[in-house]
Structure 1
Amino acid sequence: MSDPTPRHDNAIDGLRAIAVLAVVIFHVDASLLPGGFSGVDLFFVVSGFVISQSLASRPYDHMGRYLLDFYRRRVLRLLPALLLVLLATFLLSTLFIPRGGGSSEQYDHTGFAAILGISNLVLAWQVEDYFSWGASLNPYLHTWSLGVEEQFYLLFPLLFLIWLRAAKSRVWVRWLLPALAVGSMAFAAWQSTAAPDQAFYLLPARFWELAAGALLYQCIALRTPSRHWQAWALPGLVLVVVGFAFESDLQFPFPGAIATVIGTVMLLAASTAANGERKKNPLVHVLGSRPLVYIGRLSYSLYLWHWPLLVLLRWTYGLQGVALWAYPVMLFALASASYHWVESPIRNAAVARRARSPIILGAALAAVVASLGIAWAMPHFNEQLSLSRTRDSYVWRTYLHPAWMPVEPIDAPSLRGRKLIVTGDSLSTSFRPMTSIAARQFGMELIVISEPGCSFTNLMRADSRACVPARDKALARIEREARPGDIVLLSSLRMQELRGLDWSRGEAQVFQELAMQRTSADAAGAARDAEATLARLQALQVHVIISAPMPVFKSDPFRCSDVFNRMNPACKAGLTVPRAAMEAMRAPQMALLHDLLERYRMLQVWDPLPLLCNEDHCDAMDGTTPLFFDREHLSGHGNRILLPDFERLLLEIGTASGDGPSADPA
C-alpha cells in the first residue's frame, strides 16, 4: 500500500479550525450560524481520517504492541487536557453555580461520566435533549462527542489492523468497513426518528461519520490520489457551508449530517491530493494558512474550554455587554495556555516517549481514579466551598427534617398514629420540611408519593395522558396503605408557569393573555379529573387536603441571589409579582375548589398564598431570605413560614374527627 500522507497536512488543521469556530459561534448565538453544531460532524470525519493515518504509520506485526501503542498515544494526546478542564469545571461550578436540585445532580453525573469517557451514555437517557434550555446550563454537555470518539477508538483499531494485514489478499476485508458504515447509516436513519436522543449521542448512529474519514484514507491508500481531486474543494466547501449556515428540519444525525459529512470528505480528498504539490487549489491553500493552522492546533483545547466558560457566564453575569467581548479573549487565552503548557509538553515529553505503554496506561488509569475522587468531593462539600448564598441548605433546600434534629412535640392524641400521605408533582417534595416536621410533632407516619412533572388535580385542565399511569399508581398505593382517618395532601402546580414569557410587552398584557388561554374544555377536564380522584379517596374515608394555587414568579431566586449573578438577564424580570395578577390567574381554580368543597365533606382547602403575599405584591424573598427556591417551589425557609398554619389545619382535622385512627380490621 502506498503511504498517502508523507508529511503533515496543514489543511487538516484548517478544517479543524473551521469546525471548532462553527461550534463556538453556534453555542454563543445559534442565530448567527444555525447549523454550526454540525461542526462536530466535521470533526468526526476528520478524526476517522487522521486516526487511520496514525494507525497506518505504525508497525503492525504484533497485535498487542500495536493496540497498546495506539492507546498510549491517544491517552497522552487527549487525557491530560481533558482532566484539567473537567476538574477546573467542577471547581468553578462548585464556587459559582448554585445547586439546583435534580438538575445539579444531572450535571454532576455528566461530569463524572465525562472523566470515564461515557458522558454521551448519560446524556442519551436524560430528560432534556441537546437543544433544550436546561441542557444549555450543563457545563459538561459538550463532552458527549469525546465519548463517541473514545468509544470508536475501542473498536476501530482492531478493524483497521485486519484491513492492514489482509486487504490485499482477501476481498471481504475491503468490504468490512463499508458494510459497517452502511449498517450504521441504516440504523441512524431508523433511530433518528424512533429515538432521536440516543441517535444524537450514541456511537451506533454516529459510526458512519467517523468511518467516512477512514474509508477515504483506505481508498487513497489503495489508489494514489489524482491531482484533479483538488477540484472537489469548492463543492466540498459549499456543502459544509450549507450544513453550517442553515438550520435543517431533517433529523440528526441522519439525514441531517449528510451535507457536512460529504463536504468534509471532499475537502479532505482535495487537500490530500494537493499535499506536496507546488500548485495548490486556492481553497486548499487558504485552509493551510497560518492563522487557520494555529487555531486548528488549538482546536481540542478550544473545544474543551469553550462550553464550560460559556455556561459559567450564563450562570453568573450573563453573556451580555463586556462579557460578550471578553469571552473570546478568555477562551483563546485558556486554550493557548492549555495547548502550550499541558497538551504539547506532556505529549512530547521525553519520558512519555520512552515509557512503555503499560506504564503510561497505568498512570492514566490512576489519574482517572484520582480525578473521580476529587470531582466527587467538590459537590459533596458544596456548603464549605461555594461562594453562593444558596450553599445554606437549611434556608434554601427542601430536605426531609433529619431524624437527629429535635422538634417540639405537639400533644394531639387524635392525630397520633395516623398517616400523612403527600402526593402530586414536584411541589409535593417541595413541602418536605413542613410535612416532615409536622408529622414528627404529631407522631404521624409520613408517606411522600411524588411524580415530578405530573400534577394530580391541577384544577386548570385535565391531567396529562402521559401522567395518568403515574396518577393511578399513586392512588392505588394510597388505597392499599391508607386507613380511615388518615390524611392525604394533594399538592401540585396549579398555576401557569411564567418561564420564558416576553415581559417587554408589559405585565398587564402578558397576564391577560395567560388568563385567556384556559378554555371551557380545560375547565371541564379539570373538574372531571378532580372529581374522579376525590371519589376514590372518599371511598377510603380519609381526610383530603388540597393546597390552593400558590404564587409563581418570573425569575428564579436561586439564580439571582448573589452579587455575581444579580445582573444576569435571567433575573431581569424580577422576583416580585402583583398579588392582583396572582389572584386573577388562580380565580378559576379557586372557583372549582369552592364547588368541590360543597360536595365532598372530607375535603379541606389549605391556602398558603395569604401567608406568602402582602396586600399588593407577592415576593419570592423575605427580605434577604428566600421564601421560594425557584419560580414555583418553596425554599426551606418558606416551608417553616407555612408550618404553623399547616399545623393549625391538621389540629382542626384531628379535633373534628374524634379520637384517632380506627382500629386495624386485622
Structure 2
Amino acid sequence: MNPLVRLFGSGLRPPQRSRAYRPEIDGLRAVAVIAVLINHLDPRWLPGGFLGVDIFFVISGYVVTSSLLARRDGSRWQFLRRFYGRRIRRLMPALVVNIAIVSALFSMVVSPLDDFFAPVMRTGTAALFGVSNLYLLRQGSNYFATDNHFNAFMHTWSLGVEEQFYLVWPAVLLLCGLGLAGAGAAGLRRLKIASLLLLALSLALFLGLSFRGDSERAFFLTTARFWELTAGCGAYLLHRGSGSARDLGNWLTLPRWRQPLSLLAALAVLALLVLPEAWRMGTTLGITALTAALLILLGPTTGLGRWLCHPISLAIGMVSYSLYLWHWPVIVLARWTVGFNGLTLLPVLVVITLCTALSYRLECRFRYGHPAIPCLGRSGLAYPAMTVLAAVFSVGLQGPLLGRLFIGDRSHAVGQSVNNKRIVATTVDTTHCFQEPTDPVPGNHRPELCRTQGERLRPTVHFAGDSLSHMLIPLGGKMFTDGGYNVAFSARGGCPVPFFSPWSDDRDRSVRYRLCKPFADRELDALMPLLSAGDLLILISNLAGYFDKLEGPQRLQAQTNYTLAIRALAGSLRQRGAGLIIVAPMPSFPDKKVSGPLALCQREWFRPAWAMVPECRPKLVPRQEQLEHFLPLDRFLKQLVETTPGTALFRPFDSLCPPGSSFCSTHRGDDLLYSDGIHLTNHGALLLYPRLMAFLKGLAVSKSTPEGHVQPPPS
C-alpha cells in the first residue's frame, strides 16, 4: 500500500504511475525538503540546508523536460494547454489556499502600522502571480531592510523562479521542433544545443553577478538561476535522451561503477550541506553538478536508490511541495506570537505536519480529481478565478480591511515603526524623503513631495542630514499638526549635511559614500529658493560617529572643514532671513540592535514575555560617561555657533536621558526608545517634542545681537 494512503487516508491514492516514473527522485526530493526544513528551524543545525532549493531546481528541470518530451500532441496549442493545465493543477490550489490562510493569520497578529506588514503582504500577493522573487529583489537589503526571517512568504521566491521557467521552457521545446507528433532526432539535437547555450549564458550571468558583489540579483533572478534548471534538462537528455522510458544512461558508466559513484556523489552532497553560507557560490555550483550526476546514476534497485525508495522517503518526497509551502509560514507565525525556541519546537513541528497533510489532500483532489466532484481536476476558468479572489482578499487586507482582523492591543500600534516613517495625509514619508547611500542622486528633484502643504503664513522647519534626520519624521508630523509649523525633510543614509571630510575610519573615501557630497550640495542648492523669512533649517546627523575616532591633525582638519561649510551655509540662510540650528549628540548605545520587528518587544496576550527576543531588554550606559564622551564635540559645536551669526545649538540629550538619572536607557518604562545604537523609534523621536518646541519658541521671541547672533534659550 502506498505510504501516503496509510498516513493521510484512502481518498488520496494517486493514479497508476507510468513506466518512466522514477521513485528515487521522490526520495531525492525528501532529502532536499528536509535539508531546507532543518536549515529554517535553525541554520546552525545544517548551515548549507538552503541548498535543498537548488536540488529542487535541478529536479524540476529534469522532471519538466521528461514530461514535455513524453508528449506527442497534435498542435502547439494543445501541447501548451495540456502542459499548463497539469502545472496549474499541481501548484495553484495549494498555493492559493496557503497564501489566503497565512495572510489572514498574519493580519491577526501583526499590526497594520508595523514596518513588516505591507512588505510581507505584498510578497504574498506577488507570489500568487509567480513574481515574489522579483518583488523581494526590489525590496533589497537596503539601509533599513526588512528582515526576511519575519516574512511569512519569503520562501515563495523559489516558486516564482520555477513558474517563470515553466513559461519559457515549453516554448524552447516547440522552437526546437519537439512536443508534437512526428518530432524526430533532429529536434533532440537542437534541444541539446539550446540547453547547453542557455546553461552557459545563465551560469555566466550568475558568476558575473556574484563576483561583482550583486549577490541579491544572483539569488533572486530567474535568468541567473536558469542554469540550474537546464542542468536538470541536460541530465535528462543524457539519461533518457530519446524521451522514452528506455534508460540510455547506462552507456555513461559500467554498471559496477554506478553504485560507488552514486554513493560518492551522495556523500559529497551531505558534505556541502554542512558548509557555511559564506561559501554559497561554490556550494551552489557543487550541489547543482552533484544533483545532475545523481539523477543520471541513481536507480531504484541500487544501494542508495533503495534507501531513497524507502516508504518513508517516498512519503516525504511526495508531500514535499505541501511541506515546503507550509513549514516556513508556521515558523514565522511562531516568531510573531509564542516565539520560536526549544519550548515551542515540538508544537511547531506538529502544526507543520498537520498543515502538510491537509494541504496534500487538497493538492491531490485538484491534481487527480475526485469521484464526488468529477470536474475538480479540470483547469478551465476555476483556477484563474481562484487566484484573482485570493489576490483581492490579500489586497483587501492591505486596503479596505486594513487592521480589521488585528487581535492585538491597538494602543501599542502607534509609534513603533522603524523604517516606514510618514506624516499622515501628506507625501512626507520614507519612500520620497530618504535615500540609500548608494542610490543615484536623482536629476528630477521634487522637494515639494517632502514638504507639508499647510497654511502659507506658517514658518517652515526644514530637517536635513543622514538617517537620524529620517528618524525625526514622526516629530515633524507632530510639529505640523500641533505646533503650527510646516515641515520638510531630506535624508540620505550615512551622509551628513553639509558635507565635510575627513570622517572616522576614512569612510568618506569609500565607494558606498562617494555620492554624499553631490547629494548634500544638490539638496542645499534646491533648498535656497524655497526659504522665506522666519524659516529654519535643522541639521541632524550622527556627528559623533563622523568625528569619533579622529585625532590630532585629522580631527582639526575635519573641524575646520565643517566650520567653513556651516559658516557658508549660515551666510546664505541669513540673506533669506532664515536661521540655522545644529542638533548636538544624543545618547548612544554601542552594539545595541533589535534584530527584527520592534513589535516583538511589546507584550500581547498571544506573545508572552518569554517569547520576546533578548535584544528587547533595556540596555543601560552611565549618564556621566556619555556626557564625558560627547564633551569635546559639544565644546566644538558650542564655539562654532557662538562665532557664527544666525546659528543655534539644540541639545536633545536631556529629553532622552533626564538629569538626575544615573544611567541612560534604551527604554522609558515599557516603551522602546531606540531601534539600534543611534536610531530613535517613533516614541523616542516624540520625546524630543516638548524641548524642541520650547527651544523654537525661545528663538522666535529672542532678539538678535548687533552682531546678528541668534540667542537661543538655555537647552
**For each residue in 1:126-169, what CA deviation from the matched residue of structure 2 results, as whole angstroms up to 9, or x when unmatched?**
3319xx98232222221111110000000001223433454513
Q: For structure 1, which segment, 241-250 or 522-531, has the greater mean C-alpha deviation from structure 2 after superposition?
A: 522-531
The residue aligned with 1:649 is 695
Q: Find the partner of 1:265 among 285, 292, 297.
A: 292
Q: Which amino acid aligns with 1:239?
A: A
Report how far residue 484 of structure 1 moved. 5.2
CA distance in 2, matches of 1:90, 1:417: 44
Confirm or deny: 8 A CA contact 1:138 1:311 kept in the other structure.
Answer: yes
Q: Which amino acid aligns with 1:83?
A: V
Report how far residue 119 of structure 1 moved. 0.9
**For each residue in 1:65-112, what CA deviation from the matched residue of structure 2 results, as whole angstroms up to 9, or x when unmatched?**
111111111111111111222223222322223567555433333222
Q: Find the partner of 1:209 among 205, 208, 228.
A: 228
Q: Find the partner of 1:608 among 652, 655, 678.
A: 652
Q: Find the partner of 1:56 among 46, 69, 72.
A: 69
Change over 3 Å in CA distance of 1:188–1:635 after alignment to 2: closer
1:178 to 2:196 alignment:
yes
The residue aligned with 2:154 is 141
SS at match of 1:59: coil
The residue aligned with 1:577 is 620
1:169 to 2:169 alignment:
no
Change over 3 Å in CA distance of 1:435–1:158 after alignment to 2: closer
Confirm or deny: 8 A CA contact 1:544 1:604 kept in the other structure.
Answer: yes
The residue aligned with 1:187 is 205
**For each residue in 1:360-395, what CA deviation from the matched residue of structure 2 results, as whole angstroms up to 9, or x when unmatched?**
252222222221221123244454332344665545
Q: Which amino acid aligns with 2:195?
A: L
Confirm or deny: 8 A CA contact 2:365 2:376 kept in the other structure.
Answer: no
CA distance in 1, matches of 2:71, 2:82: 9
CA distance in 1, matches of 2:157, 2:628: 45
Confirm or deny: 8 A CA contact 1:231 1:281 kept in the other structure.
Answer: no
Q: Which amino acid aligns with 1:609?
A: F
How high is the sequence identity, in percent, across the aligned residues? 28
The residue aligned with 2:365 is 345
Confirm or deny: 8 A CA contact 2:465 2:496 kept in the other structure.
Answer: yes
Change over 3 Å in CA distance of 1:85–1:287 after alignment to 2: same
The residue aligned with 1:94 is 107
Q: Find the partner of 2:530 among 468, 475, 481.
A: 481
The residue aligned with 2:434 is none
Report how far residue 303 of structure 1 moved. 1.2
Q: Find the partner of 1:239 among 260, 268, 272.
A: 268
The residue aligned with 1:334 is 355
Change over 3 Å in CA distance of 1:87–1:425 after alignment to 2: farther
Q: Which amino acid aligns with 1:606?
A: F
Q: Find the partner of 2:566 among 517, 528, 534.
A: 534
Confirm or deny: 8 A CA contact 2:466 2:494 kept in the other structure.
Answer: yes
Change over 3 Å in CA distance of 1:177–1:532 after alignment to 2: farther
SS at match of 1:31: coil
The residue aligned with 2:449 is none
Change over 3 Å in CA distance of 1:123–1:657 after alignment to 2: farther
Confirm or deny: 8 A CA contact 1:236 1:262 kept in the other structure.
Answer: no
Confirm or deny: 8 A CA contact 2:600 2:612 kept in the other structure.
Answer: no
The residue aligned with 1:400 is 423
The residue aligned with 2:492 is 451
Change over 3 Å in CA distance of 1:22–1:455 after alignment to 2: farther
**For each residue in 1:642-661, what CA deviation from the matched residue of structure 2 results, as whole angstroms up to 9, or x when unmatched?**
32322222222222357xxx
CA distance in 2, matches of 1:650, 1:456: 21
Change over 3 Å in CA distance of 1:31–1:383 after alignment to 2: same
Summarize the alignment of residues 373-412 of structure 1 with structure 2, pairs less than 5 Å apart.
373-380=392-399, 381-389=401-409, 392-396=412-416, 399-400=422-423
SS at match of 2:489: strand
Change over 3 Å in CA distance of 1:288–1:62 after alignment to 2: same
Report how far residue 217 of structure 1 moved. 1.6
SS at match of 2:233: helix
Q: Which amino acid aligns with 1:113?
A: A
CA distance in 2, matches of 1:444, 1:573: 35
The residue aligned with 1:551 is 587
Report how far residue 122 of structure 1 moved. 1.6
Q: For structure 1, which segment, 162-171 or 44-53, has the greater mean C-alpha deviation from structure 2 after superposition?
A: 162-171
Q: Which amino acid aligns with 1:237?
A: A
The residue aligned with 1:509 is none
Gaps of 5+ in 1: 404-414, 498-514, 659-666
SS at match of 1:448: strand
Confirm or deny: 8 A CA contact 1:426 1:492 kept in the other structure.
Answer: yes
SS at match of 2:490: strand
Change over 3 Å in CA distance of 1:546–1:385 after alignment to 2: farther
Confirm or deny: 8 A CA contact 2:479 2:487 kept in the other structure.
Answer: no
The residue aligned with 1:430 is 471
SS at match of 1:221: coil
Report how far residue 521 of structure 1 moved. 8.1
Change over 3 Å in CA distance of 1:631–1:567 after alignment to 2: farther
SS at match of 2:344: helix
Confirm or deny: 8 A CA contact 2:69 2:178 kept in the other structure.
Answer: no
Change over 3 Å in CA distance of 1:261–1:100 after alignment to 2: farther
Report how far residue 538 of structure 1 moved. 1.2
Q: For structure 1, which segment, 456-465 or 439-448, has the greater mean C-alpha deviation from structure 2 after superposition?
A: 456-465
1:284 to 2:302 alignment:
no
Q: For structure 1, which segment, 603-612 or 449-458, has the greater mean C-alpha deviation from structure 2 after superposition?
A: 449-458
The residue aligned with 1:471 is 520
Q: Find the partner of 1:121 among 120, 134, 158.
A: 134
By percentage of residues, which structure has more helix?
1
Q: For structure 1, which segment, 15-24 or 521-530, has the greater mean C-alpha deviation from structure 2 after superposition?
A: 521-530
Q: For structure 1, which segment, 610-619 or 630-639, has the greater mean C-alpha deviation from structure 2 after superposition?
A: 630-639
Confirm or deny: 8 A CA contact 1:491 1:546 kept in the other structure.
Answer: yes
CA-based RMSD: 3.5
Change over 3 Å in CA distance of 1:524–1:361 after alignment to 2: farther
Change over 3 Å in CA distance of 1:466–1:136 after alignment to 2: farther
Confirm or deny: 8 A CA contact 1:163 1:174 kept in the other structure.
Answer: no
CA distance in 2, matches of 1:200, 1:640: 39
Confirm or deny: 8 A CA contact 2:114 2:599 kept in the other structure.
Answer: no
CA distance in 1, matches of 2:380, 2:396: 25
Summarize the alignment of residues 516-527 of structure 1 with structure 2, pairs less than 5 Å apart.
523=555, 527=559
Confirm or deny: 8 A CA contact 2:38 2:49 kept in the other structure.
Answer: yes
Change over 3 Å in CA distance of 1:260–1:628 after alignment to 2: closer
The residue aligned with 1:510 is none
Confirm or deny: 8 A CA contact 1:457 1:492 kept in the other structure.
Answer: no
The residue aligned with 2:443 is none
Q: For structure 1, which segment, 577-586 or 39-48, has the greater mean C-alpha deviation from structure 2 after superposition?
A: 577-586
Q: Which amino acid aligns with 2:540?
A: S
CA distance in 2, matches of 1:60, 1:149: 23
Q: For structure 1, which segment, 136-145 or 373-382, has the greater mean C-alpha deviation from structure 2 after superposition?
A: 373-382
Confirm or deny: 8 A CA contact 2:259 2:303 kept in the other structure.
Answer: no
Change over 3 Å in CA distance of 1:421–1:325 after alignment to 2: same
Q: Which amino acid aligns with 1:549?
A: P
The residue aligned with 2:643 is 599
The residue aligned with 2:435 is none
SS at match of 1:205: coil
Confirm or deny: 8 A CA contact 2:137 2:216 kept in the other structure.
Answer: yes
CA distance in 2, matches of 1:97, 1:117: 24
